[in-house]
Structure 1
């Protein structure tokens, strides 16, 4: 599926372009935003590489990576949104989602809207059966977003990722297609 364009009243998901480097650097370079993520703040060169990689991955067939720009009606980048289809188990129908929202937009319900758009992409457009996300144990705003959208906390993966030389656990939440359509 290329290009992706999914909208809601306050946000749209679209493909990234090279013009998004500076706006994404503002997000990925902010220590507050990446505090609970699997990487440390990124500089402009690192973000430029990220955008180059995600734009190339968008054209791979079959497409398994959906790294998308979540934009406001003004066109300004609000978040990095990602849905990755599980390729470790061919024939399975699941994907992992994640997002990074600009810190100045926190507390406005936009994180929930980003995840809702990713759920629509995964279930309604791609026909997946299970979507899941992992968060840092201390990331309570992310826990609230996933719970609000009907995602069930499944449990903790101990020593899941290493960030800055320290191992960190992750907490997994998931939702199944029938649960999404009942909500």
Structure 2
């Protein structure tokens, strides 16, 4: 990855979530083309053209969505998004992908917490949701650590590489402010 001056949107203890740059195609493609990384997703493995389109779309700044690069030091190790799905109901979703050699270090959990903060604080959402494949036990743990509760099973929600796949639904409501005068 080239030395790019990035707009950092939010900083965690070990990671930053920052705006993508057009020079990120190679770093993104390294994980987006990996069939192991994509095995539970509704997208991928990406072709180079798919990755170029993703990065081009992700560099566009929007008021209802954050598509962000996961940065460790100066290295892009994943992608993270939080977006509004219903402006009138203040509802949104989040998702993340981490490069395979960075699994098992708590990075996805840190990213999920940062996305929850962005969704509630920057997008002004009242409810956040996420889905994952029931077989993706690591992602289930990440979502639960980020305070999302398992709400149900969406049977056959996605058609993934020619096969219907279920999704677990998770959700979290904005924390209630402390009641005035409560003990």
Report the TM-score, using the length of structure 1 for normalisation.
0.89
Q: Does 1:22 align with 2:26?
A: yes
Distance (Å, rounded) in 2 between the aligned partners of 1:19 and 1:121: 25
Superimposed CA distance per residue, residues 46-71 of structure 1 (whole angstroms, 9 cap, x where no aligned partner) = 10111111223x2x4xx222111010
1:179 positional shift: 6.7
Superimposed CA distance per residue, residues 12-42 of structure 1 (whole angstroms, 9 cap, x where no aligned partner) = 0111111110000011011111110111300
> Does structure 2 retain, via aligned residues, the 8 Å contact 1:6–1:117?
yes
Task: Structure 1: give runs of 5+ residues left out of the alignment.
Answer: none
> Does structure 2 retain, via aligned residues, the 8 Å contact 1:12–1:71?
yes
Q: Does 1:176 align with 2:173?
A: yes
1:34 to 38, 45, 49: 38
1:180 positional shift: 10
1:91 positional shift: 1.3
Which runs of at least 4 in structure 1 moved beyond 2 Å after TM superposition?
none
> Does structure 2 retain, via aligned residues, the 8 Å contact 1:31–1:40?
yes
Q: Name the residue aligned to 1:43.
A: 47
Q: Name the residue aligned to 2:72.
A: 72
Superimposed CA distance per residue, residues 69-90 of structure 1 (whole angstroms, 9 cap, x where no aligned partner) = 01012x1111110112114xx4
Report the TM-score, using the length of structure 2 for normalisation.
0.89
Q: Which has the larger radius of gyration?
A: 2
Q: Name the residue aligned to 1:82.
A: 81
Task: Give the CA RMSD over aligned residues.
Answer: 1.7
Higher helix share: 1
Count of equivalent residues: 172
Q: Name the residue aligned to 2:11.
A: 7
